[in-house]
Amino acid sequence: MKVAVIGATGLVGSVMIKILEERNFPVTELIPVASENSLGKDVLYNDKKIAVTTIENAIAKKPDIALFSAGSEISLQRAPEFANKGTFVIDNSSAWRMDKNKKLIVPEINANILTKKDLIIANPNCSTIQLVMILNPLHKKFKIKRIVVSTYQSVTGSGIKGVDQLGFESADLPVAEPAYPHQINMNIIPHCDTFTANSYTKEEMKLVNETKKILNDNNIKVTATAARVPVEGGHSESVNIEFEDEFNIEDIFEILQSSEGVKVLDDPEKNIYPMPLFAQGKDDVFVGRIRRDFSLPNGLNLWIVADNLRKGAATNAVQIAEYLIKNRKIFFSL
């Protein structure tokens, strides 16, 4: 497989390359693409230096798969050009997520809806992915009525500018290009992405809309608050769920413990619960603090943590590519 990575020198793009290597993806040619500022640079793949190239050169090479993480504008302009060459585009931006003609995929949940015609495939928002990984098996069993989610999102979610701002502020150095309107060090900012006309941020509306699309249920009521916290990697979520059906707490544990890609960490007596410190570098979604919400019938509280650069972005995209390869007789001409 010829694989192009668009945005190869960015935070997510570099993790995509790392995960392709870790998971022994069958790459015959890696085509790293970045902006003009990165031309002349190399990326390291399987101990080999590969020169960064232009997107025009990548399109001309007709890769089998193109992993995009270069922002919505580039995706809207360039993804169709790859698709027109027969390339499967897996896009990590928000460009195509709510397009009614594009599939929004978390492989453990809905990869089976993909067809050969789906040449542009949307990768969900990082905070949405870890949320639906927990919600999906519970929704199948008990039918979710309403979700209230509050996110505590690390600075890597804002790219290198967010990481730099936290680092410079922590060292008491001036920040040339801040990612946030306020100091992030020793602070929490209840503001992820830009505000919309309804006073919710785009990040909050992504959680609302993408959750419904992935779970294929527009009747679920979702409300969200997204905050940025001074953590370098790993997003956390406090989630309150109201089910339509009654449940036993033992069944919740059993369902989650048997769910692919999910790890339950829940032993309050031993202070065991998910934290971003332990999620970094891992591909699983971690869940704990599992307990009833006694304020309403059929209510449940959860705490969810995942590495936002891996399962929240790069790993999920590579897993979609792996699904295409696993079912190559459907998706590729042999």
Distance from C-alpha of 90 to C-alpha of 250, rounded to nearest angstrom: 37
In angstroms, how far is the first alpha carbon of the chain from the final one?
A: 12
Residue 195 contacts by C-beta under 8 Å, 6 or more apart in sequence?
201, 202
Q: 127-308: what CATH class?
A: alpha beta
Residue whose C-alpha is closest to residue 151's, from 207, 106, 196, 97: 207
Each residue of 13-68: pLDDT tens digit? Answer: 999 999 999 999 999 999 999 988 878 899 999 999 999 999 999 999 999 999 99
**What's the length of the chain?**
334
139 is catalytic: no
Q: Which of 139, 182, 191, 235 is catalytic?
A: 235
Q: What is the DSSP letter of 311?
A: I
Distance from C-alpha of 190 to C-alpha of 126, rounded to nearest angstrom: 17
pLDDT at 39: 83
Which three-class secondary structure state does DSSP give residue 89? Answer: strand
What number is the average pLDDT over the span 87-114?
A: 98
Q: Where are the domains of the chain?
A: 2-124+313-331, 127-308
Each residue of 228-244: pLDDT tens digit? Answer: 999 999 999 999 999 99
Distance from C-alpha of 35 to C-alpha of 52, rounded to nearest angstrom: 9
Q: Is 24 left (phi over 0), alpha (psi -120 to 50) or beta?
A: left
HSE value, Cβ hemisphere, 13 Å, CA-based, for 142: 24
CATH number for the domain whose boundaries are 2-124+313-331:
3.40.50.720
Residue whose C-alpha is closest to residue 69's, from 130, 154, 129, 157: 157
Q: Which of 126, 182, 191, 192 is catalytic?
A: 126
235 is catalytic: yes
What number is the average pLDDT over the span 106-127?
A: 98
- The type of residue at 271 is N
Each residue of 164-220: pLDDT tens digit? Answer: 999 999 999 999 999 999 999 999 999 999 999 999 999 999 999 999 999 999 999
Distances, alpha carbon 73 to alpha carbons 48, 79, 92, 95, 334, in Å: 31, 10, 12, 7, 33
- CA 167 from chain centre, in angstroms, equals 23
